[in-house]
């Protein structure tokens, strides 16, 4: 009879020890996370870039064997050059567009043309649109004062977006440097990733889980974010050369549409119509229109080439990741969101499909 209370005391002590240890581990994990949290986006960016660019480093090893640090440095320097020049041109275009708009508003020379009489005959909203347009053409100042609070909120939102883009660009460049360091130690990083995955999911599934995450990151980064960036460069440079008003902002809109899996023709076709309407039909405008239209459709050719090399990720997953990432993490989340959600999606379905077959279950039950 005395053994039962003793056994209970021993079990209570063991349970108390386990709870104390778990509590200490939890406290340590919370403190580590809080210390690491300010660098979370930077490290996630760097990891995505390193995994995406690492195959290029493997190819260059044939020429520069045993010089991983030098290869990684060369790749990062080339990436800086490729990104900085178009970014500078687009930034200058955005600044000029804002300056021109401010100058026009300050000079008072900006005028809205009056609406056509047919606008009032549009179904449902025709009369309201006509009245609003008519007031804008006759009393733009009064209309601006009427909607001053809304305009102020829109201006603050636009300023926040521009500030977020600048901060995101600086973060991207910092992540690119960290990615170079990670690529210089790529072999060690891969072994560490396999060891971590094996510790979590077992030695049998560890290498497959690590490979799945790697292939998913590369597929989404190249097939979604990379294609959107290429399209932005192709279309944005043409806008800048042609002198399109707000060329930089339009190029950024192309980038956002590409990441959100929407066609770039939503931007390119109105711009083509604007150019032909304002500059007429000539050899330059025809060449510009054909080039921009083809560049707007380039994703249809590039996606099967780049996205098809990795794992198949449904487009709704990418779209939800882009929108959710933008809501939770701002502009930087627009890039990280699709990649992280795609990795989670693949791991979830691997977990769902990795289960014993009915025959195996019956045998285990029989045993």
Let me know if 29 is exposed, middle or buried by CB neighbors in 10 A (0-12, 13-18, 19+).
exposed
**Residue 114 parent element (H or E):** none
In a domain, 30, yes or no: no
Q: Is the pLDDT of residue 191 over 60?
A: yes
Q: CB–CB of 165/331 below 8 Å?
A: yes
pLDDT above 90 coverage of the chain, percent: 3
In a domain, 7, yes or no: no
In a domain, 142, yes or no: yes
Q: Give every CB contact of residue 230 below 8 A, 6+ residues apart in sequence.
A: 298, 302
Lowest mean pLDDT among 186-190, 195-199, 218-222: 218-222
Q: Is the pLDDT of residue 223 over 80?
A: no
Q: Is the pLDDT of residue 83 over 80?
A: no
In a domain, 34, yes or no: no
Q: Is the pLDDT of residue 161 over 60?
A: yes
| pLDDT for the residue 28 | 93
* pLDDT tens figures, 90-137: 667 667 766 776 776 666 666 667 777 777 777 777 777 777 777 777
| pLDDT for the residue 32 | 92
Find which of 30-44, 160-174, 193-207 is predicted with most confidence, using mean pLDDT: 30-44
Mean pLDDT of the chain: 77
d(CA 88, CA 92): 6
In a domain, 13, yes or no: no
Q: CB–CB of 309/219 below 8 Å?
A: yes
In a domain, 163, yes or no: yes
What pTM was computed for the model? Answer: 0.65
Let me know if 296 is exposed, middle or buried by CB neighbors in 10 A (0-12, 13-18, 19+).
buried
Question: For residue 222, what are the domain limits?
Answer: 40-352
- Cβ–Cβ contacts within 10 Å for residue 286, how many? 12
* pLDDT tens figures, 15-49: 788 888 889 999 999 999 999 988 888 888 888 88
In a domain, 296, yes or no: yes
In a domain, 25, yes or no: no
Domain count, the chain: 1
């Amino acid at each position: 009879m005395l053994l039962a209370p003793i056994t209970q005391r021993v079990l209570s002590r063991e349970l108390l020890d386990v709870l104390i240890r778990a509590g200490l581990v939890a406290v340590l994990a919370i403190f580590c996370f809080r210390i690491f949290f300010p660098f979370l986006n930077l490290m996630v960016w760097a990891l995505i870039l390193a995994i995406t660019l690492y195959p290029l480093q493997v190819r260059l090893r044939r020429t520069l064997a045993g010089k991983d640090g030098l290869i990684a440095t060369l790749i990062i320097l080339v990436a800086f050059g490729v990104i900085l020049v178009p970014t500078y041109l687009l930034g200058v275009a955005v600044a000029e567009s804002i300056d021109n708009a401010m100058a026009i508003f300050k000079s008072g020379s900006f005028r809205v043309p009056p609406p056509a009489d047919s606008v009032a005959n549009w179904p449902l909203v025709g009369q309201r649109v006509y009245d609003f347009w008519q007031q804008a053409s006759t009393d733009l100042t009064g209309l601006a004062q009427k909607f001053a609070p809304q305009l102020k909120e829109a201006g603050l939102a636009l300023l926040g977006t521009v500030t977020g883009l600048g901060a995101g660009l600086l973060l991207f460049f910092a992540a690119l440097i960290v990615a170079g360091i990670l690529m210089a130690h790529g072999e060690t990083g891969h072994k560490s990733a396999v060891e971590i995955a094996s510790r979590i999911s077992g030695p049998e599934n560890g290498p497959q889980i690590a490979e799945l995450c790697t292939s998913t990151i590369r597929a989404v980064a190249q097939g979604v974010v990379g294609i959107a960036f290429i399209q932005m460069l192709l279309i944005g440079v043409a806008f800048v050369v042609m002198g399109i008003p707000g060329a930089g902002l339009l190029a950024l809109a192309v980038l956002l549409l590409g990441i959100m899996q929407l066609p770039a023709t939503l931007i390119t076709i109105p711009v083509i119509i604007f150019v032909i309407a304002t500059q007429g039909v000539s050899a330059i405008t025809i060449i510009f229109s054909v080039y921009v239209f083809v560049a707007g459709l380039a994703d249809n050719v590039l996606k099967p080439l780049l996205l098809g090399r990795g794992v198949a990720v449904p487009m709704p997953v990418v779209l939800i990741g882009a929108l959710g990432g933008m809501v939770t993490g701002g502009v930087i989340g627009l890039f990280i969101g699709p990649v992280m959600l795609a990795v989670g999606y693949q791991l979830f379905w691997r977990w769902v499909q990795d289960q014993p077959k009915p025959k195996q279950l019956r045998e285990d039950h029989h045993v």
